[in-house]
Amino acid sequence: EVQAVVAAHPLAEGAAVVAREDAPGDVRLVAYVVTDEADETDAAELSASVREFVAGRLPEYMVPSAVVVLPELPLTSNGKLDRRALPAPDYGAAATADSGRGPATVQEEILCQAFAQVLGLSAVGVDDDFFTLGGHSLLAVALVEQLRGQGVSVSVRALFQTPTPAGLAAVAAPDAVEVPENRIPEGAEHLTPQMLPLVDLDEAEVAHIVGRIPGGAANIADVYPLAPLQEGILFHHLVADQENRDVYVLPIVLELDSRERLDAFLGALQRVVDRHDIYRTAILWEDLREPVQVVLREVELPVEEFVPDPEGDDTVRQLLAHAGGWMDLRSAPLIRAHIAAEPGSGRWVCLVRIHQTVRDHTSQEALLRELGAFLSGRGDALPAALPFRDFVAQARLGVPREEHERYFAELLGDVHETTAPYGLLDVHGDGADADRARWSVEEELAGRVRRTARSLGVSPATLFHLAWARVLATVSGRDDVVFGTVLFGRMNAGAGADRVQGPFINTLPVRVRVGSAEVRDVLLGLRDQLAELLAHEHAPLALAQRASGVPGGSPLFTSIFNYRHHQAADQAPKPGGGALLEGVNPLLTRERTNYPVAVAVDDLGSGFALTVDAVAPVDAESVCAMLHTVVDNLVAALEDAPETRLAAIEAMPAHELRRVLREWTGGQAPVAAETASELFEAQAARTPDAVAVASGATEVSYAELDARANRLAHRLRDHGVGAESVVGLCLPRGVEAIAAILAVWKAGAAYLPLDPEYPAERLAFMLSDSGAEVVVGHSGLTRRFSAPGPRALNLDDPEVAAALETAPVTPPRVSTVPDQMAYVIYTSGSTGRPKGVAVSHAGLANLAAAQTDRFAVHGSSRLLQFASMSFDAAVSDVVVALSSGACLVVADAEELLPGPGLAGVLSRHAVTHVTLPPAVLAEMSVEDLAPVSTLVSAGEALDRQLVARWAPGRRLVNAYGPTETTVCATMSEVLAQGDVPDIGGPIRGVRAFVLDERLAPVPVGVAGDLYVAGAGLARGYVGRPELTAERFVACPYTPAGERMYRTGDRVRWTADGRLVFAGRADTQVKVRGFRVEPEEIAAVLTGHPALARAAVTVRADAAGDGRLVAYVVPAGDRADVDDRALGRTVRDHVAGKLPQYMVPSAVVVLDALPLTVNGKLDRAALPEPEVAASAGTGREPATDEERILCETFARVLNVPVVGVDDDFFALGGHSLLATRLVSRVRTVLGEELPIRTVFTSPTPAGLAGWLAGRGSHRPKARPALRRMRGRETE
C-alpha cells in the first residue's frame, strides 16, 4: 500500500518499500525510488518531496522514515526485487551539525543531544528535521519521554508541528503547574490567611503584614513567598546592614536635556511601576516564619530633588553620594529616583536606583523598551502585564524539593571544601573595591569557538563554562572545582515568561573535575550536567549548599560565571554611548556582586566579550587574560588533540609564564665558589688584628682565632679526620665553639652540632646516624655518650690542651673543594626519628655575599649569634661575620632569653646586627634593641604588626630558607612601616619556583608549593636515599641534571615579583621558630606504655601564637584514668626524649581518635584542648541574655537544647536560618543584631558578649527585655 503511493509520485519511475531492522528492535519503513531525472534532481529534495507526498495520502505511521534515491532497483536472477541488496539508508547524511549554526542555548543543546541519542546519530544540527533523519512515531514518543526526564517538556504534537531542535526550543514549556488564584478581593478591608494560598501565615502574621503597609489591607494586592534569587539577595541585604553599602542596589545615571524631558521620563517610569506588580512590591521578614513579598495596589514613585554644590565635585558624584548605597526593602517601590539640575545649564541628571530583588538583566531591557513606548506615545499598544506570582508558584510547586535535594546531594555530597579562587572566602562584601577588566575575543578565535562547539553538538556557553573551570582550577589550586553559574530562569517559568518583569535568574553550582580526564569527555560531561541543572534552575542556592559536604557557615563557592545572550546587544545602553531615548543619555550604570570573583561572557552573535570583576588583591586583567588563553588552547586541543587531558591545557599567558619561570625566579650568576674556611682565611689575612669574636669579657682577634682553629685542625687530622668525615661538636657557646667549627672545616671535614641540652638518647642517635668519628667537647658533656661510640677530644683534658699548645699555627695541608660536606644538622622527621641534612660548602659563598650586602655588614659591624649551634641560622652568623671583617658576639643561652637578658647583651656589646625569630621580637620593646641598626627576622612568619613596630629607625629584613637550602634561599628588601611582610626574592645563585602539584607554575597571587634550586641545595639526608629522592627532585626549568628542593612551604607571587609566605603544605610546622614534625612527637608519645594511640597538632592560643597539643588514647580501661595525671606523665615522658620546644603545651585525653572515612586521622575533628563538649553540655548560661539566646538558637535550629558555647553552623544553621535568628533576637531581646555577627560570633556566649560589648550605644528594636514564649505555643 505504501509502495503504491510512493510509486504514484510524479518523479518516481520505480519504487520499493521495505521494513528494515538495521538496529535490533528498531524497525523502520524505508522507500527506495528510481527516477529518470536523477541528474537534474537533488536527492535530498526528492526524498523530502516523496515523504511530503506520502504524508498527504496516508496516516503518519505509514510515512517512510527515509527515502533512498537509486539509479535502479537491484534484482535477483529471477528478475525479482533483491531486498538484501538494497542499501541501508544514511540517516545522518541530512544532519547539518557540521555545517549549520550550533546550539545557541542550553535548551537547544539538550534538544540536539536528545535527537542524536534517540536517532542513533553522532550529532544533530539545530535546524535538522527529526523525521528527515529517520524519526518515526515510536521514536517520537521515546524522544518526548527522554526530554521530559531532562526537564524539557514537549508534546508529540509539538514535535510533529516543529520537528527541529530550534523549533522545539521555542515552544517547549514546563509541565503545567496549577497556580492557585489570588483570593484577595478588590477593596478588601481585612485579610485572612485563606486569601493567601501561596504562603503559610497565621492570623497574627497577616495582621503584622497589614500593619506595615501604607493604606493597610485595602492597598494589598497579593502576598506570596520569595523567588530563589530573592532569598539569597535578602540574606546579603541583611548582612550589609544599614551602615554599609548594599551590593544589590543598582544605580543608573541618566542625563536629560530639559526639565520637560525629565518630567516625561519620570511619568513614563511611574506608568511602568503601575503596570508591573514586581515594582509595587515590598519585602517583609520581621516577626514572620519566612520572608514574603507584598504587592501593593498603588505606590507613588519616590522622586527626591537634590541641589548640588556648585563648588563641589561633579554633579553625578554628589548625587550618588547623597543617595547612598542603601534601600529599605520593607518600603515599596524598590525603585527610586533622585534628580539634580546641572549647574549653569538646562540639563538634568536623574539617578534611578533599582534593587536587584525586583529586576534582572532581561527585566531591565524590557523596562527600557516600555519606557520608550510610553515616551513615544505607543504605551497603549503594549501587551497586558503578566504577574510575577505565577513564576514564584512555578518555582515553588514545579519540581518537588526532594528532587532538588536528591540531585544536589548526588552532585555535591562529597565536596567538603570551598572552591576559593586566590583563597578568597568572603562572600559578604559589597563589591566596592572590585576591579573590572573587559576583553574581546577576536573574530578568528570566536569563529573557531563556534565551529568547534557545533561539531561536538555543544553550545559555546558549555565551552566557555569549561574554560572557566580550567582557570578556576589554576587560581584555586584544586583539580575538583565548584562555581556558581547564572541561570536565565525563564526556560521553565511558564507561558509568557519572556515578558514578565522580575528577578527570574538564579545562581546554582556547577562541578568540574579537571584532573586527568580527556578534554572532549569533560566537555561532553559538562554539557550533560548543565542540561540536568536546567531541570533544577529554580532550586534555592541554600538548598544546594546544604546538600554539599561543606560545613555550614562556609560558602560552597566564591566565584560565579554568567554566560549572557544579548538579544539587542548593539542597542544596549552604554555610558557615553549615545542617546538611549531621544534627549536621554546614559552616563553610568554599575552592577556589583557579593562574590569576590565574577566572570561574564557576552555572546554578541558574532563575537564574544569577557568581563571580570575581582576584589583586591586579584588583578581582573590577569584573570581575563587567563580565560582568553584557556579558550584559545582549549579550542586548539578540541580541534587537533581531543584526547589531551584538561589539566594539561595551559592557563597562563606567555608573558606571565616568562615572568614566573625566568624573570622573577633568580638566576643571578653565583659568586666564585669558595669554602667557608677559605672565606675566613682571606679575611684574617686582610684584618688580622680586628676583633673576630667577643664572648663576655673575652675578645679574640682574627689572627688569634685563625691560630686556634689551625691547632685544633691539626689534632683532628691526627685523629684520622679528613675529607667527608663528620665531627661532633658538643661545646657550650663561646670562642671555643667558633674555633672548633673553623677547625673542622680546615681539616676538610663537616661538623655536627650536638646541643648539650638535648636528651642523651637523641644525641646518641645523631652520632650513630651521621657516622661521626670524633666528638670535640668537654669531659663533663661527652661522658653522656655511651660506649662504644666516636672518640672524644675533650678540650678541657690537660693532655689535649698541652697537645694543642704545641700544634702548628699554620693551616694543615688539606685540599678542599666547594662540593665537600660542610655540616650536618638534624631536623624533625616525619617517621618519628630526626633526619640529618648534609650541606656542602657550595652555597656558603653566595650566602655570605648576599647577606653581607643586604644586611649592610662591614668591618665595624657587631653581629650577635642568637641561634643555637644546632640550627643553621648559626652558620649564617659565623660565615657572614667572619668573611666580612665584622665581630661575632657570642653569649650563654641564659643571657639570650627574651627580655632584660637579651637586651643587656645587645647593649653591653653594642650589637649592630641580629637575627631573631618573630616570637622573640614580640616579647621585646623597641628600647631593648636600641643599638641594633640591622634587624633580620627569620624562622617563622613575620606579621604586619611586628613590621610596624620594628621597621622605623633601622634596616628590617625578612629572611627565609629551610636547612636544605644552606640557611637562606630568599630575602625581602628593607621593609618599611606599613609594608606587608614578604620573603622577597631568591638570593644570588638561587632559583625559586612556585608550582602546583603537577610541577606547573601558578599565576601571580595564587598559593603554590615553593621549590628551590641552585648551588645552595643540600646534598640530601644522611643515610636516607628514599627521602632524599622524594624531596630533591629533577628541575624541569633548569639545565638537565639540576635538582630542586620541595620545601613544603606554600607561597605566592605578588604583582611585582615578590614572594609572600602562605603556610605549610605538609604536616611539618614551626612553633616559636623551631621546625617540628608532629609525627615525631606522636611516635615518642605512643612509646609510653600507658598510651594506645596519639596525635599531635598545632593550635592557636589566646594570643594567636601556635602551640603543640597532644591527643592521646589510654591503653586499658578508660574509667581508671585520671586525665590530668596522665597528661603530666606523658609530658614528662616527651621531655626526657625530645628538646623542650617539642614538648606539647597541652594533653587532651580521648576515648578514640577521630578518623575520616578513609581511616586516616581527622584533624579537623580534634577538639580544642579546653573544650570537647557536645551540644547542650558544658557550663550553664551565666546571664539572662545567654539563656534566652540558647533558647532562641534551639527554636530556630529545631533542636531540643543548645549550650552557650555551641556553634550555630555546626548544629545545622545556614544563611537563611541566620536571618530567622536575627529576626527572633529582635523579637525576644529587642536588640538589632547584624547578621554578619552571627558568622563572626556563632555561639550564644559569643553573641551575648557582642551585645554586652556594645553597651548603651547599641540600638534598641524593643524597649524591654522579655522572655521568649514557650515553644508549645508556637
Q: Say if residue 84 is in the same domain as residue 116.
A: no
Give residue 130's pLDDT: 81
| 849 CB-contact burial (10 Å; exposed 0-12 / middle 13-18 / buried 19+) | buried
The C-alpha cell that represents 927 in the structure block: 628600647
How many separate domains does the chain show? 6
Asked if 1187 and 1201 count as a contact pair (C-beta separation under 8 A), the reply is: no
Last residue of a domain, one of 55, 89, 123: 89
- Judged against a pLDDT cut of 90, whether residue 677 lies above it is answered with yes
The 10s digit of each residue's pLDDT in 359-400 is 888 888 889 889 989 998 999 999 999 899 888 888 888 788
The 10s digit of each residue's pLDDT in 503-515 is 888 999 999 999 8
Q: Say if residue 443 is in the same domain as residue 521.
A: yes
3-state secondary structure at position 14: strand
Q: What is the DSSP string of 99-146?
A: TSPPP-SHHHHHHHHHHHHHHT-S---TT--TTTTT--HHHHHHHHHH
Give residue 399's pLDDT: 82
Beta partners for residue 990, in sequence order: 1014
The 10s digit of each residue's pLDDT in 299-316 is 999 999 999 888 878 889
- The pairing of beta strand 862-864 with beta strand 887-890: parallel
Task: Give the separation between CA 715 and CA 739, rounded to whole angstroms.
Answer: 13
- Does residue 955 lie in a domain region? no
- Judged against a pLDDT cut of 50, whether residue 470 lies above it is answered with yes
Per DSSP, 837 falls in state E
Give residue 1073's pLDDT: 55
- Judged against a pLDDT cut of 90, whether residue 166 lies above it is answered with no
The 10s digit of each residue's pLDDT in 1135-1163 is 777 765 677 877 889 988 886 444 456 77
Per DSSP, 560 falls in state E
Asked if 483 and 559 count as a contact pair (C-beta separation under 8 A), the reply is: yes
Highest mean pLDDT among 21-30, 858-867, 1245-1254: 858-867
The region of weakest confidence among 542-551, 705-714, 1230-1239 is 1230-1239
Q: Say whether the peptide bond before residue 180 is cis (omega within 30 degrees of 0).
A: no
478: left (phi over 0), alpha (psi -120 to 50) or beta: beta
> Quick one: which of 113, 342, 94, 333 has its CA closest to 213?
333
> Quick one: which of 330, 310, 327 has its CA closest to 318?
310
- Judged against a pLDDT cut of 50, whether residue 1266 lies above it is answered with no
The C-alpha cell that represents 355 in the structure block: 534593587
- Judged against a pLDDT cut of 80, whether residue 106 lies above it is answered with no
- Mean pLDDT, the chain, integer: 86
> Quick one: which of 755, 730, 729, 732 has its CA closest to 742?
729
Q: Say if residue 443 is in the same domain as residue 559.
A: yes
Question: Residue 1082 sits in which domain range?
Answer: 1077-1165
Give residue 242's pLDDT: 57
Given pLDDT bands bounded at 50, 70 and 90, which one contains residue 495?
low
- Pick the more confident residue, 1165 or 648: 648
- Does residue 400 lie in a domain region? no
The C-alpha cell that represents 303 in the structure block: 522622586
Q: Say if residue 487 is in the same domain as residue 379.
A: no
Q: Say if residue 233 is in the same domain as residue 313.
A: yes
Given pLDDT bands bounded at 50, 70 and 90, which one contains residue 1269?
very low
- Does residue 1071 lie in a domain region? no
- Judged against a pLDDT cut of 50, whether residue 1232 lies above it is answered with yes
- Pick the more confident residue, 1170 or 981: 981
Measured in degrees and rounded to the nearest 5, phi and psi for residue 605 equal 95, -50
Task: Give the separation between CA 502 and CA 363, rounded to whole angstroms.
Answer: 6
Give residue 175's pLDDT: 64
- Does residue 1067 lie in a domain region? no
- Judged against a pLDDT cut of 70, whether residue 292 lies above it is answered with yes
Give residue 1072's pLDDT: 54
Task: Give the separation between CA 721 and CA 819, rounded to whole angstroms.
Answer: 17
Question: Could you tell me which residues come within 8 angstroms of residue 908 by beta carbon, excluding any fewer than 6 positions away?
Answer: none
Rounded alpha-carbon distances, angstroms, from residue 517 to 113, 122, 463, 471, 627: 21, 21, 16, 16, 20
Which whole number is the average pLDDT over 15-44? 81
Last residue of a domain, one of 121, 139, 171: 171
| 1049 CB-contact burial (10 Å; exposed 0-12 / middle 13-18 / buried 19+) | buried
Q: Say if residue 511 is in the same domain as residue 606.
A: yes
Give residue 129's pLDDT: 81
Rounded alpha-carbon distances, angstroms, from residue 485 to 449, 462, 499: 20, 11, 23
Of all residues in the chain, the percent with pLDDT exceeding 90 is: 49
The sign of the CA dihedral 1033, 1037, 1042, 1045 is negative
> Quick one: which of 1192, 1198, 1201, 1226 has its CA closest to 1212?
1198
Q: Say if residue 124 is in the same domain as residue 201.
A: no
- Does residue 1255 lie in a domain region? yes
869: left (phi over 0), alpha (psi -120 to 50) or beta: alpha
Give residue 538's pLDDT: 86
Give residue 614's pLDDT: 94
Q: Looking at 192-249, list the stretches that DSSP marks H as alpha helix, in order from N- to C-terminal side.
A: 203-212, 228-240
Asked if 37 and 46 count as a contact pair (C-beta separation under 8 A), the reply is: no
The 10s digit of each residue's pLDDT in 510-561 is 999 998 789 999 999 998 898 888 888 889 898 999 999 887 777 899 999 9
3-state secondary structure at position 681: helix
Task: Give the separation between CA 145 and CA 175, rounded to whole angstroms.
Answer: 12
The CATH number of whichever domain residue 350 belongs to comes to 3.30.559.10
Give residue 1031's pLDDT: 95
Question: Could you tell me which residues come within 8 angstroms of residue 940 by beta carbon, excluding any fewer than 6 positions away?
Answer: 917, 918, 919, 1070, 1072, 1073
Question: Could you tell me which residues come within 8 angstroms of residue 467 by beta carbon, excluding any fewer than 6 positions away?
Answer: 627, 630, 631, 634
> Quick one: which of 1093, 1086, 1088, 1046 has its CA closest to 1068?
1046
- Does residue 793 lie in a domain region? no
Per DSSP, 217 falls in state G
Residue type for 697, please?
A
Which whole number is the average pLDDT over 958-982? 95
The C-alpha cell that represents 1007 in the structure block: 598559593
Highest mean pLDDT among 99-113, 236-250, 702-716: 702-716
Give residue 1124's pLDDT: 73
Segment holding 352, helix H or strand E: strand 348-355
Give residue 1255's pLDDT: 59
The 10s digit of each residue's pLDDT in 1043-1060 is 999 999 999 999 999 999
Q: Say if residue 376 is in the same domain as residue 250.
A: yes
Give residue 831's pLDDT: 62
Give residue 174's pLDDT: 60
- Judged against a pLDDT cut of 70, whether residue 243 lies above it is answered with no
Q: How many CB atoms lie within 10 A of CB 1023?
A: 14
- Does residue 1123 lie in a domain region? yes
Given pLDDT bands bounded at 50, 70 and 90, which one contains residue 1104?
low
Q: Say if residue 462 is in the same domain as residue 514.
A: yes
The 10s digit of each residue's pLDDT in 569-582 is 334 344 444 445 78
- Judged against a pLDDT cut of 60, whether residue 1101 lies above it is answered with no
- Judged against a pLDDT cut of 90, whether residue 862 lies above it is answered with yes
Give residue 579's pLDDT: 47
Give residue 1015's pLDDT: 87
Give residue 360's pLDDT: 86
The region of weakest confidence among 146-160, 330-344, 645-659, 745-759 is 146-160
Given pLDDT bands bounded at 50, 70 and 90, which one contains residue 1025?
very high
Segment holding 634, helix H or strand E: helix 620-640
Give residue 1264's pLDDT: 30
Last residue of a domain, one of 367, 385, 403: 385
- Judged against a pLDDT cut of 70, whether residue 784 lies above it is answered with yes
Task: Give the separation between CA 995 and CA 174, rounded to whole angstroms.
Answer: 48
Given pLDDT bands bounded at 50, 70 and 90, which one contains residue 102?
confident
Given pLDDT bands bounded at 50, 70 and 90, which one contains residue 604?
confident
- Judged against a pLDDT cut of 70, whether residue 97 lies above it is answered with no
The C-alpha cell that represents 6 in the structure block: 510512493
Asked if 214 and 320 count as a contact pair (C-beta separation under 8 A), the reply is: no
Task: Give the separation between CA 206 and CA 1223, rounded to whole angstroms.
Answer: 17
Asked if 816 and 725 count as a contact pair (C-beta separation under 8 A), the reply is: no
Which whole number is the average pLDDT over 1053-1079? 77
Which whole number is the average pLDDT over 404-417? 92
The C-alpha cell that represents 862 in the structure block: 657587631
The CATH number of whichever domain residue 134 belongs to comes to 1.10.1200.10
E strand segments, 432-583: 434-441, 480-487, 506-513, 559-565
Q: Say if residue 1233 is in the same domain as residue 1139.
A: no
Q: Say if residue 473 is in the same domain as residue 553.
A: yes
The C-alpha cell that represents 145 in the structure block: 519521554
Which whole number is the average pLDDT over 788-796? 89
| 387 CB-contact burial (10 Å; exposed 0-12 / middle 13-18 / buried 19+) | buried
Which whole number is the average pLDDT over 966-984? 95
Q: Say if residue 1143 is in the same domain as residue 1236.
A: no
Give residue 430's pLDDT: 73
Angle at 552 between CA 550 and CA 556, to 5 degrees: 40
The CATH number of whichever domain residue 33 belongs to comes to 3.30.300.30
- Does residue 240 lie in a domain region? yes
